[in-house]
Structure 1
Amino acid sequence: MKAALHPGRLLARRYRLLDQIGAGGMSVIWRARDEVLDRVVALKVLAPSLAADARFRGMVREEARAAAQLVHPHLTSVHDYGETVDPDGSITSFVVMELLNGEELKLRLTEGPLPWPEAVQVGAQVAEALAAAHRLGIVHRDITPANVMMTGTGVKVLDFGIATRIGAPDEDEDGDTFGTPAYVAPERLDGAPAQPSTDVYSLGVLLHEALTGRVPYPADTWEQLSAALASGPPPTLADLPDLPPTVAQICLRSLARNPADRPTARQVATALRDHSLPANPPTATIRVPTQPLPPQSPAIATASVPTAAPATADGRTTGDALAAGSLWSRRRLALLLVLVLAVGVTLAGVALLPEQQPTRRAQPSVAPVTTPPTDPPTPTPTDPPAPTSAAPTAAPSRKPTTAVPGSNAGTLSEAANRVDGLIGAGLSAGEIRDDVALDLRNELRNLTVAVSSGREELAPPVARLRNKVTVRLGEGGISPAYASRLDAAIAELNAAGV
């Protein structure tokens, strides 16, 4: 009898099943622990009927191999493919993938369309992921909201289960590798092989649905799709008056019937990226230049007005003019007193700045200060010299083996967030390669999960993460300066509370 999948079962003498987190017609998704690399992963276990077909297993294995080459922030990482022979001779086939935390776009759209800036950001990130796949000659063939995950770090394109090489013929005659009807390009119904333009059409459908809450041509079967394409009106976004014309244009171009009229995934990403950030800067940044001396502006502005006050062209008597001038003189005196007081307060504040500056000086972010501000311990001959403010650049080159006790490490989550932020900053600055940043973040997430759940002490995973930084530095994936900063930040995890 075939061994049933259940929590605790070990597949391929390596992957321990923890719990089932999803299911579909072709597979079941399990959360599992990789007991060799000690990390939590997702296992997509194929349905027994599919796993029994050697041809299908070979196709999935090749597709998993192709997907494993894709390293991109908005693509789900594929780690492994495995097969287990059960006692009755049946085969359990599975794909090992990156475990994600988030919400499917499909579920999100059940609440209605997204605000257009969010829909544009989702579309841009999916387009960037597709552009990366197309560069390697891979076509996804099933871009739908069910295969887009919304995570805290952006979207992730899922499931390359029916992906193929550009131009490869379809492997079946029933349309199972065509994709989901409402998202399939019209030329596919005529037997044309999948091309990058095929994915771009699906991306256009996805973007249209995210913006409006509906697909351009609703269909659940191939027959319904053919009928909708033949008789349905052309798609439009005219009911979204606030949508930038460029966004509407790129979406409708992606839905062109002729594949040659569609833009590339890279062109879609570029067009959408131009509208994924707010056009107006925050108001606070506009007010900043006027803040230093607010009392001076009205006093100086009104000081030039007195010559107009005594004018009698409007028919006033000389006495009225003199009375007005006297009143103006009193007001001017009061305003001058305010000005003098404001200048005095400003000068007093400036005089205090030199004495306050040392207490406000920020400490280096990459290494905790080892000397307290008061009552320092008596130095011993083996103590290193205390760092001085004259050489703050020496701190980044230090690589402490542990965090200094008493440093502001905070909780494990806070310390991990600091490490994650440093990884993000290095990625943005071009100091950390994309694939390296993704690898380090996966390792950091596995560390926090393992320690928070009590499955492992803190020191071993911290040591593994620091070693990974060293390895990636040797590969040229991290600049020496950022490797030093990351090592120091990771070392602080040892002092963090769980």
Structure 2
Amino acid sequence: MSRLEPGDVLARRYLLLDPLARGGMSVIWRAFDQSLHRMIAVKVLTASLHAGDCERVSARSEARAAARFIHPDSIEIYDYGETVTTNGGVAAYVVMPLLDGPPLAERIEQGPLPWSEAAAIALRLARVLMAGHARGLVHRDVTAENVLLTADGPKLLDFGIAAWAGDPDDDRGTPPYVAPERLFGAPTHPAVDVYALGVLLYAMLTGHTPYPETTWEEIEAARRIYPPPRIPGVPHSVASLCQRCLAYRPEARPTTAEIVSALTSALGTATLGRQVRRGLTVAGSAAIALSALLWLQRTGFQDLEGMVMPSPTAIMPSPTAVLPSPPANHIESRPALVESTPVTVDTVEQAVDDFRTVLEARTPCGATDADVVLDLKQVLHAAVSPHGPSASTTAGVRRKLSDRMAEGRLAPACLSELQARLDEIDAALERD
């Protein structure tokens, strides 16, 4: 049949407006539901346009199963159908909400993600897959293109073309993410999703997929039997987990439940480590300040006429400051200690780092769950990204903070500190 065009109507209801994305298996359209008068997304399954009755029956069964699968990080299925188009062809389609957010693939194209951000995204996806696997559903096409980075966090597309575990395999899937056993026609199994998640985690950590092959023929010719080299610069537990997910034999791969446990532990350990380091820094700064006070007392500085004894806050150094050694002629140089220079944030990057530091701190934001932390980081990244709107603003982040506060997922003290950091970011944006 001829390809679909803007203006075509599916099932006398869904008006196709313009294509949003194209993949090897489908085309996603921005569309309008003429019955309910709302904007939607329609994924037309190109692989089934010329399919026979058996294939369409299978696709229909899979879509119905996926429609009964509801998870907050998976895109809901509104409708599934097959229709004769205006050009006389048969189109199978899935109707979904129209979400605002770029594919994860676009984020990866900009370069590797920080390991903690990559692990947090993988954790969210592993939870979705774990829930699907518990119901006997296998996604089969976990890719960077099928993950949307929305304001509410990463969302997994395409459970609308999932299969039941044990079903015969087919050619659905994206070659760089295809597990080796699929080349030999092995039945559908949750391990194929684990392999794809391993590829995705590797891509987030390095900026590219672990193998260069991009077609079924190239993958079959490559005959990969060993996992890729360990990824440097990330915690051992995360690098090891990625390798295990990419194991050649499916039984050697972890389950999604084991992935969830490993990533939760890695992220928790990292958070604890940051808190310990931050505590040691603060303790070190206090010790330096106390030493300074004792030195001043020994030199008799407090007895000098016309001099004002500085307050502890005036001589308290910043965590990165180093107190100089007393000069030989300390009497003449003492007035310099009386004046304190206020600490200011000079760049947007520094202000953003301060926001993230507060967000990850045990006090006052320690009770904030990982999903909210990731959500706020992504919203802030979008607000100040050089690829974002020309007029960068923290208004969206402030609205998100208010929403999370109203939901009871943000402590008042944490909210206050984060708002103060946003004030610093706004000031830095104005200077830029």
What TM-score do you get using the length of structure 1 for normalisation? 0.54
Q: For residue 94 of structure 1, report the CA deviation from its aligned partner.
A: 2.0
Q: For residue 42 of structure 1, report the CA deviation from its aligned partner.
A: 0.2
- Does the CA-based 8 Å contact 1:119-1:207 persist in structure 2? yes
How does 1:391-470 map onto structure 2 within 5 Å?
A: 418=399, 421-422=402-403, 426=407, 428=409
Partner of residue 237, structure 1: 230
How does 1:266-277 map onto structure 2 within 5 Å?
A: 266-276=257-267
Q: How many pairs align?
A: 325
Partner of residue 74, structure 1: 73
**1:255 equivalent in alignment to 2:246:** yes
Partner of residue 142, structure 1: 141
When residues 284 and 337 of structure 1 are mapped into structure 2, their CA distance, relative to the original with a 3 A threshold, is: farther
When residues 3 and 20 of structure 1 are mapped into structure 2, their CA distance, relative to the original with a 3 A threshold, is: closer
Partner of residue 176, structure 1: 171
Partner of residue 189, structure 2: 195
Distance 1:151 1:20 in 2: 19
Distance 1:217 1:419 in 2: 38
- Does the CA-based 8 Å contact 1:48-1:91 persist in structure 2? no
How does 1:32-47 map onto structure 2 within 5 Å?
A: 32-47=31-46
Q: Percent same amino acid among aligned pairs?
A: 43
Distance 1:122 1:130 in 2: 13
How does 1:63-212 map onto structure 2 within 5 Å?
A: 63-86=62-85, 90-160=89-159, 162-170=161-169, 175-177=170-172, 179-212=173-206
- Does the CA-based 8 Å contact 1:2-1:87 persist in structure 2? no
Q: For residue 116 of structure 1, report the CA deviation from its aligned partner.
A: 2.5
Distance 1:185 1:273 in 2: 25
Unaligned runs of 5+ in 1: 310-327, 344-412, 430-498
- Partner of 2:78, secondary structure, is strand
Q: Give the partner amino acid of 2:97.
A: E
- Does the CA-based 8 Å contact 1:48-1:92 persist in structure 2? no
Distance 1:19 1:97 in 2: 15
Partner of residue 237, structure 2: 246
Distance 2:209 2:396 in 1: 44
Partner of residue 372, structure 1: none
When residues 214 and 23 of structure 1 are mapped into structure 2, their CA distance, relative to the original with a 3 A threshold, is: closer
Q: For residue 244 of structure 1, report the CA deviation from its aligned partner.
A: 0.5
Q: For residue 248 of structure 1, report the CA deviation from its aligned partner.
A: 0.9
Distance 2:114 2:191 in 1: 26
- Partner of 2:73, secondary structure, is coil
When residues 208 and 22 of structure 1 are mapped into structure 2, their CA distance, relative to the original with a 3 A threshold, is: closer
Q: For residue 11 of structure 1, report the CA deviation from its aligned partner.
A: 3.5
When residues 80 and 428 of structure 1 are mapped into structure 2, their CA distance, relative to the original with a 3 A threshold, is: farther
CA deviation digits over 1:89-137, x for unaligned, max 9?
A: 6444321012122222333333443333332223222212211211221
How does 1:265-414 map onto structure 2 within 5 Å?
A: 265-276=256-267, 279-281=273-275, 301=294, 305=298, 328=300, 331-334=301-304, 338=308
CA deviation digits over 1:226-251, x for unaligned, max 9?
A: 44335x6542125x1x2111111111
Distance 1:207 1:299 in 2: 48
Q: For residue 68 of structure 1, report the CA deviation from its aligned partner.
A: 1.9
Q: For residue 425 of structure 1, report the CA deviation from its aligned partner.
A: 5.7
Partner of residue 52, structure 2: 53
Partner of residue 365, structure 1: none
CA deviation digits over 1:150-173, x for unaligned, max 9?
A: 333322222235420111223xxx
Distance 1:183 1:142 in 2: 8
- Does the CA-based 8 Å contact 1:51-1:93 persist in structure 2? no
- Does the CA-based 8 Å contact 1:200-1:262 persist in structure 2? yes
Q: For residue 21 of structure 1, report the CA deviation from its aligned partner.
A: 1.7
- Does the CA-based 8 Å contact 1:50-1:56 persist in structure 2? no
Distance 2:89 2:55 in 1: 14
Partner of residue 216, structure 1: 210
Q: Give the partner amino acid of 2:205.
A: L
CA deviation digits over 1:308-335, x for unaligned, max 9?
A: x8xxxxxxxxxxxxxxxxxx4xx44359
Distance 2:204 2:250 in 1: 22
Distance 1:51 1:420 in 2: 49
Distance 2:109 2:395 in 1: 34
Q: Give the partner amino acid of 2:303.
A: L
Distance 2:11 2:305 in 1: 85
- Partner of 1:22, secondary structure, is strand
- Does the CA-based 8 Å contact 2:66-2:161 persist in structure 1? no
Q: For residue 303 of structure 1, report the CA deviation from its aligned partner.
A: 8.8
Q: CA RMSD in A?
A: 4.2
When residues 36 and 335 of structure 1 are mapped into structure 2, their CA distance, relative to the original with a 3 A threshold, is: farther
- Partner of 2:71, secondary structure, is coil
Partner of residue 14, structure 2: 15
When residues 123 and 25 of structure 1 are mapped into structure 2, their CA distance, relative to the original with a 3 A threshold, is: closer
Partner of residue 419, structure 2: none
When residues 234 and 150 of structure 1 are mapped into structure 2, their CA distance, relative to the original with a 3 A threshold, is: same
- Partner of 1:102, secondary structure, is coil
Q: For residue 149 of structure 1, report the CA deviation from its aligned partner.
A: 2.4
- Does the CA-based 8 Å contact 1:31-1:41 persist in structure 2? yes
Q: For residue 12 of structure 1, report the CA deviation from its aligned partner.
A: 3.3
When residues 283 and 132 of structure 1 are mapped into structure 2, their CA distance, relative to the original with a 3 A threshold, is: same
- Does the CA-based 8 Å contact 1:83-1:94 persist in structure 2? yes
- Partner of 1:194, secondary structure, is coil
Q: For residue 288 of structure 1, report the CA deviation from its aligned partner.
A: 8.8
When residues 108 and 414 of structure 1 are mapped into structure 2, their CA distance, relative to the original with a 3 A threshold, is: closer
Partner of residue 264, structure 1: 255
- Does the CA-based 8 Å contact 1:32-1:42 persist in structure 2? yes
- Partner of 2:79, secondary structure, is strand
Distance 1:252 1:4 in 2: 41
Distance 2:128 2:241 in 1: 17
